[in-house]
A = this chain, B = another copy of it.
Amino acid sequence: MVFELPYRRLLILTEGRLGVFSSKTGAAVLRYRPTDCVAVLDSQHAGEPLRSILDGAPDVPIVANVADAMGLKPDAIVIGIAPVGGALPDAMRRHLVDGLGSGLSVISGLHVSLSRDPQLAELAERHGARIHDVRDPGPIQHIARGRARQMRVRRVLTVGTDCAVGKMVAALELRKEACRQGLDAAFVATGQTGILIEGWGIAVDHVISDFAPGAAELLVQHVADRQVCFVEGQGSIGHPAYSCVTLALVHGVCADAMVMCHRPGRAFHSDWHDCPIAAIERQIALYEEIAEPVHPCKVVAVAVNTVGMSPEEADRAVREAADRTGLPAADPIRQGCGDLLAAVRGRIGV
């Protein structure tokens, strides 16, 4: 059972937290679904130009409350934050109450289940709205059979040297470039922000471990008739807490090519200050070795995340990644995905 979200007129709720990092989830939805977003809901920034806060965002208004947005005919409120711990801030609750009361559905990537919140559930029921907890994968009990190998769709998986290095962004940008080049290309979301952006997917890290590779297989099955799909990776193969989710994707997706995502300058895994990050070339070897027993697969390119660097620093970081790995390297946002996709296409033959 793959999650699907049939909404096309989104109201992005960031109440009090609008910003590139403080409302990362909302910023990602605004970047990747610009034409599906009708407004941002944040009383502390109401009336300001959105682009003055989020560079490159669509030209939609920031409103102070749900009533001010109703003229734009939203169909759902997207919770635009994903805080550690994942509770619903009180300041956001009143907007959800107003929105559900106006018949808007709610889409949440929070850890807490809003669909089981008595007040919100009752309001949704009364007004014919729905509440979607995209982190809840539902009762997935599919055991992987290694079937993705036999599907027509070519499968490209983004993998990483750590968490939060840009695996989702790389997959989205590769898909965009592939479509631009005329390929029938899909993006496969495996985490809550990707699901919010794409409107379907499974949060694989919330699936029971016996069924996590099966969830990956179901996701590929969902795009089995497409030409190529770019699957958002999770975690990192050497990460003490998340490597099992990483491997569930490597073996469940049966990737035909992997793109390594890397953020230079980190010595330790984020939040695991005593766990060093292995060198990128060592990690590439490890991903290829671990893929091999199920479906042999190579890392064919490196997506370098240079956010916050000067142009010179970024150039140097990209060159260094290419030198160390012997692979084409680029920052998908600064430099585009042309070279990365060329390497992928050369490998998978589309």
Contacts and interface: CB of A to CB of B under 8 A. Distances in A.
For the side of the interface on A, what is the size category?
35 or more
Q: Which of A146, A240, A244 has the most CB of B within 10 A?
A: A244
Interface stretch (A35-43, A201-209, A222-230): A201-209
Nearest to A245: B209
A278 interface: yes
A206 B208 contact: yes
A335 B233 CA distance: 45
A290 B293 contact: no
Copies of this chain per assembly: 2
Interface string A60-98: 000000000000000000000000000000000000000
Interface string A268-299: 00001011001000010010011011100000
Contacts of A212: 209, 244
Contacts of A251: 239-241, 243-244
8 contacts: A144-B241, A145-B240, A146-B240, A205-B208, A208-B208, A209-B248, A212-B244, A237-B293
Interface of A: 143-146, 204-210, 212-214, 237-245, 247-248, 251-252, 272, 274-275, 278, 283, 286, 289-290, 292-294
